[in-house]
Amino acid sequence: MALTDTTIRNAKPGDKPLKLFDGGGLFLLIAPTGGKLWRLKYRFDGKEKLLALGAYPDVSLKKAREHRDEARKLLADGVDPGANRKAQKAAKRASAADSFEVIAREWFARFAPTWAETHSSKVIQRLEKDVFPWLGSRPIAEITAPELLTILRRIEDRGALDTALRAKQNCGQIFRYAVATGRAERDPSGDLRGALAPVTHQNFAALTDPKDVAELLRAIEAFRGTFIVKCALQLAPMLFVRPGELRTAEWTAFDLDKAEWRYLVTKTRTEHLVPLPSQAVAILRELHALTGQRHNVFPGRDQRKPMSGAAVNAALRRMGYDTKTEITGHGFRAMARTILHEELHFKPEVIEHQLAHKVPDALGTAYNRTRFLNERRIMMQQWADYLDRLRAGAQIVPIGLHTN
């Protein structure tokens, strides 16, 4: 007779395993411990086999019969239900191994060591917050362009247009990595060209009029904040490196006797050399007496870490400058680039090399840290001297001999 739920609930375990048959090979195995397990007995290629269908009541009588009927259909088609289940489990494991998150983290682990720490942390945080929760478990080969667009639109809807574009770029890199490693056929992010709202990037605020620069330099000279921040303020316009590179500078990278500072550029991870003018060496020697025994040139409140990324801009605001419209820590680079070319008439390629920008040469070299080194040494000293004269209020007469 066919089983009923009442029969199953009332069935008691015995000293030996007990089988209650339902028909078609389906039976309930009641173990001496009380467990009730569904089993399906069938024959394939002349051999008797057994298929586990789960435990009662997690798998109800109705569900167990559905599993039996599905298995019988497979048998009718010449398919072994047990082998079919193993194949499905293997496919699920393979799918999980090739999920978007697994491949994304593999891609990140491979390439992140070549990036700046600030960049790599932003990339993984962006993926963990905005992409993995929705796409992470999906097989990467099955993700479509509309599916990816839905994720990016969600980011756009909160007003983070730049984040949406960067997330699209990161996803594209991950898809292309999957293609290169044989886990996907194509990169669907390429189909989304023009689908996201464009982002208008504003240039960093900068002062480029020598009169305004002179006032700023005098304000820095009169700054009454901490000595460490004041030194950073004095060196920022003089050396015009990226703000993050200045504030995270390490003493081991400086050779004050040779008047040189060597470090890895945060964006490109290439070596960069900054010739130090005599004024910068004097500031650094004075600062060395205070922080020279520490790792960082500009330590923060936590002496083991560099000063805050907001310290220079906060100091500029304290001096009365609007960091959105007048000057930012990054704006010193635009200031130097403009005045060095327009007022002091240095060649653009010399300036660009000192800014650590990629400037292809005749040999196709993207950046050469020693290129134009003599010209850059001259330029950096003349630039520091020029700033001194501006701060003192002297009349500035550009010198053009170095352009020959």
The full set of domains in the chain, from first to last, is 5-96 (3.30.160.390), 100-192 (1.10.150.130), 210-403 (1.10.443.10)
pLDDT at residue 399, as a whole number: 46
Which of 240, 284, 263 minimizes the C-alpha distance to 380? 240
Residue 322 and residue 204 in contact, taking contact as beta carbons nearer than 8 Å: no
Does 119 participate in catalysis according to the annotation? Answer: no
Does 333 participate in catalysis according to the annotation? Answer: yes
Does 89 participate in catalysis according to the annotation? Answer: no
* pTM given for the model: 0.53
The active-site residue out of 56, 263, 367, 386 is 367
pLDDT at residue 112, as a whole number: 87
Does 242 participate in catalysis according to the annotation? Answer: yes
Q: Read off the tokens for 117.
A: 């720490």
Q: What is the mean pLDDT of residues 14-23?
A: 92
Q: Which residues contact 370 (CB under 8 A, 6 or more apart)?
A: 273
Read off the pLDDT of residues 245-273 as tens digits, 9 standing for 90 and up.
Answer: 999 999 999 999 999 999 988 777 788 99
pLDDT at residue 203, as a whole number: 58
Which of 44, 41, 19 minimizes the C-alpha distance to 30? 19
The active-site residue out of 68, 168, 242, 247 is 242
The active-site residue out of 36, 330, 376, 391 is 330
Residue 132 and residue 170 in contact, taking contact as beta carbons nearer than 8 Å: no
Read off the pLDDT of residues 131-187 as tens digits, 9 standing for 90 and up.
Answer: 999 999 899 999 999 999 999 999 999 888 889 999 999 999 999 999 999 989 999
Confidence of residue 45 (pLDDT cuts 50, 70, 90): confident
How long is the chain? Answer: 404
Read off the pLDDT of residues 206-251 as tens digits, 9 standing for 90 and up.
Answer: 788 899 999 999 999 999 889 999 999 999 999 999 999 999 999 9
- pLDDT score of 51 more than 50: yes
- Catalogue the long-range contacts made by 317-322 (C-beta closer than 8 Å, 24 or more residues apart): 318/223, 318/225, 319/219, 319/220, 319/223, 320/219, 321/216, 321/219, 322/205
Does 367 participate in catalysis according to the annotation? Answer: yes
Cβ neighbours of 101 (radius 10 Å)? 19
The active-site residue out of 333, 337, 353, 391 is 333
CA distance linking residue 215 with residue 229, whole number of Å: 18
Cβ neighbours of 296 (radius 10 Å)? 18
Residue 254 and residue 264 in contact, taking contact as beta carbons nearer than 8 Å: no
The active-site residue out of 63, 154, 166, 267 is 267
The active-site residue out of 41, 138, 176, 357 is 357
Residue 351 and residue 378 in contact, taking contact as beta carbons nearer than 8 Å: no
Beta bridge partners of 27: 21, 39
CA distance linking residue 278 with residue 290, whole number of Å: 19
- pLDDT score of 369 more than 80: no
pLDDT at residue 364, as a whole number: 43
Q: Which residues contact 81 (CB under 8 A, 6 or more apart)?
A: 40, 42, 44, 51, 70, 71, 74, 75
pLDDT at residue 327, as a whole number: 86
